[in-house]
A and B are shown apart, each in its own frame.
Chain A
Amino acid sequence: MKSKLDARKLLSEYGNVLVLLLLCAFISIVTLEEQSPRSTAAANRLAEKIAQASPKGANVIVLVRSGKGQQEFADKLKDALTNAGLHVPDSIVGTPRDARIALEKQTATIAAIAADNHMATFCADQLPNLGKAITALNKTTVHQPRKHKWPNFLKKENLLNVLKQISIVAIIAIGMTMVIITAGIDLSVGSLIAFSGVITAVSIQHLAGGGDPTTGHLLLGSAAGILVCAIIGMGTGSLVTLFNIPAFIVTLGVMFIAKGLAFIFSESAPIPVSNEGFAWLGRGSDLMGLPNSVVLMLLLYVIAHVIMAHTSIGRYIYAVGGNPEAARLSGVPVKWVLVFVYTLCGLLAGLGGVMEASLHITGDPKSGTLVELQVIAAVVVGGTSLAGGQGKIFGTLVGALIIGVIRNGMNLTGVEAHMQSVVYGVVILIAVMVDQLKNRSAKTGA
C-alpha cells in the first residue's frame, strides 16, 4: 500500500522527467543511423588493419569524400598509415570524380586504398574497371573503417546544440515560473527580448561613439539592456499590485509597448555590434566545451532552485500563489513579493535579449516574437499549475528540455515547420491535461 502510494507520488512529482527520458529514447531509436566514424581511434584501427594485410612500405592511397571534418579525417588517416610503416603517395579529399582522376594518374603499384564509407562504395563500383586499365591498381584492395550504428540524436554536438537552443527560453522561464506560481502571467517577455537586444546594441554603439566598442562598452551596454527590462518588470508588478489590474492585461499592454519601442529605438533595422567579442555569451564555449549560454543557464537554475526551496522569498512566493489572503494575514508582504517576481521576470527577459543579440552580434527588433508562448509552454509542461501555488524550478528546466528535444527530434527526422507547430500544441494540451488529472487525484486522494 505504502510503496504503491510512493510510486504514485514519485510519478506525479517526477513524471515529466520520465516523459523526457521516454522521448529521448524514442528519438534515439528513430534517428538511429549508420555512422561513418571519423575519430583518431577509428583511423588508427583502419591503419592497423591495412598494415597487417600489406607488406611494409607498401603504397596506400587515402580517399575521403569532401565535407565537414573530412580533411581532418584524411590527415588523421595519413598520419596513422605513415606511423604504421606504410607509404602514402596520395591523399584525396573530394568528389568521386576527383578520386577517379587521381587514381588514373597512379603509376606505382598501389597495395591498398584507405577510404571512408562513401568512397568505399565508389571503389567497389569502379575499381574492377579501373584495375583492368591501370596496372598500378591491379591488385589494390579497399579498406574502410568498420561501420557502426548510433543515433544522430545522441551525438555530443547535437545534445549540446539542444541545450544551447533552449538556453534563452529556459532562462526566462525561471522568472515565468515564479510569476505563474503567484498565479500571474507575463506576456511581455518576448517583446522584452527584442527591446533589451536593441537597447544593448544601441548603447554599445553609442558608448563606442562611432569607433569599435571595447569589452567595457559591451558589458555596460548589456547591463543597460538588462536593467531597463528589470525596471519595466518592476513597473508591470506595480501596476498589477497597486491598481489591481489582472496581470494578463498589464503584460499584454507592456508587450505592445516594448515591441513598439524596440522598433522606434532601432529605427526598424537590426543594429550590428562591431566587436566580435560580443558573441562570447551566445556562441562561445569556454568551460569543458560547454557553451557559455548553457553554463549560465545551469548556474541560474541552481540559484533559482535555492531561492525557491530554501529562502523566505521563495516560501512567500508559494504562499502568495496558494492563498494571497492567508499569506497577507500571516504577515507576508504580498505586494512586494509580486513586484519582486515581475521585476525578476523582466530582468531575466532582458538577459535573454542580450543572449539573443550576442548570438547574432546584432540587436534585432524582430527577435523574440512569440517567445513568451514558448516560455509559458516550458513552464506549463514542467508541471507548474496556472492556478498558482504549485510548481518546481527544475520542473521548468525539464519542461524546456522536453520542448527542445521534441523540436530537435523533428528537425532531425525532417518534420516540416507547420507540423512541428501542431505537435507543440498537442504536447502543451497533454501537459495541461495531466496537470488537471494530477490536481484532481491530489484533492480526492487526500
Chain B
Amino acid sequence: MAEPAQPPLLQMRGISKAFPGVQALSEVDLTLHAGEVLALLGENGAGKSTLIKILGGAHPHDEGAIEIEGHQALLNNPLNSQAAGIGIIYQEFNLVAGLTARENIFLGQEPSRVCFIPRSQEEEQARALFARIGVEIDPNALCGELTVAQQQVVEIAKALSQEARIIVMDEPTAALTPREVEGLLKVIGELRAQGIGIIYISHRLDEIDEIADRVTILRDGSHVATRDKSKLQRDEMIELMVGRSLEKEFPFHECQPGNVRLAVKNLSRSSKVRNVSFELRAGEIVGLTGLVGAGRTETARLIFGADKKESGTVELDGKPIGATSPRDAINCGICLLTEDRKSQGLVLGQTVQENFGLPNLKQFTQTGLIDRAKESDAFAKFVNQIPIKVTSHKQPARTLSGGNQQKVVLAKWLQRNAEVIIFDEPTRGIDVGAKYEIYQLIHQLADEGKAILMISSELPEILGMSDRILVMNEGRITGEITDVSSATQEEIMKLATQREEIAA
C-alpha cells in the first residue's frame, strides 16, 4: 500500500498526558488515513482510553500536536472535537433512552432553538444515514427499546450526521452477540469504503485480524509499534502488547495448598451467573478471568452477599454460610476488594484512618466510644508493614494514589482477620511499580494460609500470579487450568470465548 500524497487524515505527534501520580501517555504518535481501519491495541492501562479521550476533547493533552488533514487542530472540548470531524463511540453510549433514534441522532443539532423541528425532514435524513450504514432501523423507535447493536448503529449514524470523518470505537463488540459482531464488522467495512478513517479498539484479536488495515500498539503509555496488519503475526502482536517477560513482572511464589476453605456450589443469579461451582484452598491463589461481562465480578458479589443469589450454596470450612449481606460475609471472614475502589471500596471524603476503621470499629470501641488512639496504632502497624504512603492518618482517602488506596482497602480487611480474600482487578489503574508490591502482598497472604480468589482481565497477570486458573464466559465457568506454568494466553482466550454450541 503506497503512502498517499496528501497529508494523513489524522496525525497525533508526541502526545503526553500526566494525571496526578501517573504518566498516562508519553510521546505517543498515531497516524490515521482516510478509508482505513487502524486497530489500537494495548493491555488495560496502556493508555488507549486516555488517547481517545484526548481525541474526543474530554482531556486536554499536556504536550504534542494534533493535525487533521495537515491543519493544526485544537481539541480542548468535546464540541471542538466534534466540529473537527471526530466522532467517538464510547463503551457507554451517550443516548437518551426516552428519545427516538431520530431525536437522538439530531440532539443538539436542531436548526434553531426557537423553530419547530422539521420532523419529516429529519426522518428522511435518519433513514438515509441508516441506509448509508446498511442497517435498517425505524427512526421513530425509542432508543431504550433498541438492542445494544442497534444503539451502536444509532451512535454511528449520529457521528455521521455530524459529518464525522474520523470514527473511534472503544471496545464496540464487548456486549454484542457473534451475529451482531458480524453485522458491525460489515458496517465498519461500509464506512471504510466511504473514505472514513476508523480507529478500532478491541481485545479480540480475531476481529483485528478480520478488519484492521494497520495496527498501532501502546504499552504503559508509550507507542510501541505501528505495522501493517498483513505484516504482523498474532504472536508478535501479543508480544508487543505484553512486552516484558512474565518472570520479571511477577514475584516468585510456591504454592502449598492446604484444606479446602471456600466451596461454592451451583451459584446462580439470572443470566449473569449460571451454576458456578469451584473450591478455594488455604494458601492457594486462584485466578478467575474471562472477558468483560463474563460474570466474574457478579460471582464475587454473590459470594460476598453484596447481591442476592437465586440458588446455590457457599461453604466456608465445610459449613454453609447463608450470607445475605456483606456484613454477614465479613463476619464469616470473607472479604472483597472491589474493582472500583473509588465508588465501592473507599469513602473518599473520609480520612484514611476512618476508612481503615470502618469495618473494624467494634475492635476499637470501648464503652460505646471509639478509641482513636487504638485505631491509629493499629493502622500505623499496617502503614509500616505494607507499607502505605500516607502523609498523615487524617489525610482524606481521595488524595491517595491508586496503589495506596488499594493498600488502605487491604489494610482494613487484614485488620479484620479475613480468611478468604477476593481481589477484583487488584491492579487496575495502578502503576507498574505499585503493581509489583501488590503482587508481593497477595503472595504473602497466600503464604500465611489465606485462600485467595483473584479476578483479572489482564492475562499476563492471571498467568503470572495464579496457582490455578478458572475461566468464565457468559456466566458459566468454561474451563479450569491447573497446570499454569505451561498455559498460554491463547488457551485462556479460547476458553473465554467458548460459547454454547447452538444446535443447528
A interface residues with partner B (beta carbon < 8 Å): 306, 310-312, 315-316, 318-319, 322-323, 325-333, 389-390, 443, 446
Complex Cα spacing A389 to B397, Å: 13
> Smallest distance from the beta carbon of B443 to chain A beta carbons, Å?
24
In the complex, 14 of the A-B residue pairs with CB atoms within 8 angstroms, ordered by the A residue number, are: A315-B358, A322-B348, A322-B349, A323-B344, A323-B349, A327-B347, A328-B325, A328-B326, A329-B345, A330-B358, A331-B326, A331-B358, A331-B359, A443-B398
Complex Cα spacing A330 to B346, Å: 9
> Smallest distance from the beta carbon of B333 to chain A beta carbons, Å?
12
* A319, B369: Cβ atoms closer than 8 Å: no
Which chain A residues border B192 with CB–CB below 8 Å?
A: none
* B412, A330: Cβ atoms closer than 8 Å: yes
- Encode B331-351 as 1/0 by CB contact (under 8 A) with A: 100001010000111111110
B306 within 8 A of A: yes
- Encode B6-41 as 1/0 by CB contact (under 8 A) with A: 000000000000000000000000000000000000
Complex Cα spacing A311 to B354, Å: 12
Complex Cα spacing A443 to B399, Å: 9
Query: Which one of B326, B346, B396 contacts A323 once the chains associate, using CB atoms below 8 Å?
Result: B346
Closest A residue, CB atoms, query B358: A330
Which chain A residues border B368 with CB–CB below 8 Å?
A: 311
* B370, A312: Cβ atoms closer than 8 Å: yes
Not counting A323-B343, A328-B326, A330-B412, a sample of 14 additional A-B residue pairs whose C-beta atoms are within 8 angstroms of each other reads A312-B370, A315-B370, A319-B354, A322-B347, A326-B338, A326-B345, A326-B346, A328-B306, A329-B326, A331-B359, A332-B359, A389-B350, A390-B349, A446-B396
B423 within 8 A of A: no
Query: Which one of B326, B327, B346, B354 contacts A315 once the chains associate, using CB atoms below 8 Å?
Result: B354
Which chain A residues border B304 with CB–CB below 8 Å?
A: 329
Which B279-309 residues sit within 8 Å CB-CB of chain A?
A: 304, 306
Complex Cα spacing A389 to B346, Å: 12
Chain B CB count within 10 A is highest, among A325, A333, A389, for A325
> Smallest distance from the beta carbon of B19 to chain A beta carbons, Å?
13
Given contacts A318-B347, A330-B412, A333-B327, contact A310 B369 (CB under 8 A): yes
Closest A residue, CB atoms, query B395: A446
Which chain A residues border B359 with CB–CB below 8 Å?
A: 330-332
Top-10 shortest CB links A-B: A322-B347, A331-B330, A312-B361, A331-B327, A323-B347, A330-B358, A446-B399, A331-B359, A330-B359, A310-B369
B interface residues with partner A (beta carbon < 8 Å): 304, 306, 325-327, 330-331, 336, 338, 343-350, 354, 357-359, 361-362, 365, 368-370, 372, 396, 398-399, 412
Query: Which one of A306, A311, A319, A390 contacts B358 once the chains associate, using CB atoms below 8 Å?
Result: A319
Complex Cα spacing A301 to B141, Å: 57
> Smallest distance from the beta carbon of A386 to chain B beta carbons, Å?
14
> Smallest distance from the beta carbon of A26 to chain B beta carbons, Å?
33
Which chain B residues border A325 with CB–CB below 8 Å?
A: 343-344
Complex Cα spacing A311 to B368, Å: 6
Given contacts A322-B349, A446-B399, contact A329 B370 (CB under 8 A): no
Complex Cα spacing A335 to B396, Å: 25
Which chain B residues border A327 with CB–CB below 8 Å?
A: 347, 358
> Smallest distance from the beta carbon of A6 to chain B beta carbons, Å?
13
Given contacts A326-B345, A326-B346, contact A312 B306 (CB under 8 A): no
Chain B CB count within 10 A is highest, among A327, A331, A389, for A331
Given contacts A330-B326, A446-B396, A446-B398, contact A312 B347 (CB under 8 A): no
* A319, B350: Cβ atoms closer than 8 Å: yes
* B412, A312: Cβ atoms closer than 8 Å: no
Chain A CB count within 10 A is highest, among B304, B343, B349, for B349
Complex Cα spacing A323 to B344, Å: 7
Closest B residue, CB atoms, query A329: B326
Complex Cα spacing A238 to B399, Å: 35
Which chain A residues border B343 with CB–CB below 8 Å?
A: 323, 325-326
> Smallest distance from the beta carbon of A27 to chain B beta carbons, Å?
35
> Smallest distance from the beta carbon of B307 to chain A beta carbons, Å?
11
Which chain B residues border A332 with CB–CB below 8 Å?
A: 327, 358-359
> Smallest distance from the beta carbon of B455 to chain A beta carbons, Å?
15
Complex Cα spacing A318 to B344, Å: 15
Query: Which one of B344, B345, B349, B365 contacts A311 once the chains associate, using CB atoms below 8 Å?
Result: B365
Which chain B residues border A443 with CB–CB below 8 Å?
A: 398
Which chain B residues border A389 with CB–CB below 8 Å?
A: 347, 349-350
* A329, B361: Cβ atoms closer than 8 Å: no
